[in-house]
Amino acid sequence: MIIDGKKISQEIKSEVQLAVQKMKAEGRQVPGLAFILVGENPASQSYVKSKGKACEETGFYSVTERVPETISEAELLAMVDRCNKDPKIHGLLVQLPLPKHIDEQKVIEAISPAKDVDGFHPQNVGKMMIGIDTFYSCTPYGIVELLKRYKINPSGKHVVVVGRSNIVGKPIANMLLQKKEWANAIVTVAHTAAKDLSVYTRQADILIAAIGRAHAITKDMVKSGAVVIDVGINRIEDATAKNGTRLVGDVDFENVKEIASAITPVPGGVGPMTIAMLLMNTLKAAGGKVQTPVPRSD
């Protein structure tokens, strides 16, 4: 089974759009999301453009502040403070990475936890770890939502997460081990310090690859019948492609799909879910709510 993140993300956007329309009909303020984009990084520009488009499609109020790479840390922190105080803004996102002269952690901690729709603030990370409802980091949140909508219940299953980043590996491990619905898994976190990653990956009922290395997970590393979630986005050379490159995941999709019971493709798997969950977090920050969706049957 191919887990179609593109399709699920569209479903979520439709649900968010309906919730926003309900807020408007009730005379309530629509969700507002601010983006701060520092410098000219092409990937960052593309991400922010996609997020802004999603806001437009769902009826959000959004604003993008573009500033030069030479902006001082103090000036950037002042911008964050202004957004924190703006009642039209419910969610604030400072696009990472930032220039080297700016302390990323200081900027993350300057964002109000009540507007931290990226789920990166230590206060929200702490709440997630001890099982208090909060804003969840968008990519792991998207993984949980994919499992839920495809009725792949991790309860009692052995989940192996390959990768330990603050954005994906650590939060998804913590989210899935919580004692609650659509979690309650036995979780192992493996990473590059392992002499042989396959010792761990072959034990996984659900394998989550988030190491940022093209085709690092091969067929012989996956147990037959496992669910495979590929978070990686890697650009590799491909002479047959129009621009000479193509996007691939951390998993050797073509070979692993032969033995996996379910797998996410790249592109079109976890990627589209990140923006969808950003919208969900911002809707939540604004006091809106989607109707509880019924998990998919296919």
| Bridge partners of residue 93, in order along the sequence | 35
Q: From edge to edge, which strands make up the β-sheet containing 262-263?
A: 186-190, 158-162, 206-209, 227-230, 262-263
Tokens of 296: 């998919």
For residues 185 and 176, what is the distance between their CA atoms, to the nearest angstrom? 6
CB half-sphere exposure, 272, CA atoms < 13 A: 18
Pairing, β 234-237 against β 227-230? unpaired
Tokens of 260: 């996996």
Name the active-site residue from 13, 95, 116, 230. Answer: 95
Tokens of 262: 């379910």
148 is catalytic: no
For residues 61 and 63, what is the distance between their CA atoms, to the nearest angstrom? 7
**3 state DSSP class of 218:** coil
4 is catalytic: no
For residues 251 and 257, what is the distance between their CA atoms, to the nearest angstrom? 9
Helical axes 169-177 vs 138-149, angle rounded to 10°:
40
Q: At which residue do the structure tokens 């900027």 appear?
A: 107
For residues 22 and 144, what is the distance between their CA atoms, to the nearest angstrom? 26
Name the active-site residue from 4, 115, 116, 118. Answer: 118
| Separate counts of helices (H) and strands (E) for the chain | 10, 10
Tokens of 86: 């703006």
10 is catalytic: no
Name the active-site residue from 4, 13, 51, 116. Answer: 51
Beta strand ranges found along the chain (DSSP E): 32-38, 61-67, 91-94, 158-162, 186-190, 206-209, 227-230, 234-237, 245-248, 262-263
Catalytic residues: 51, 95, 118
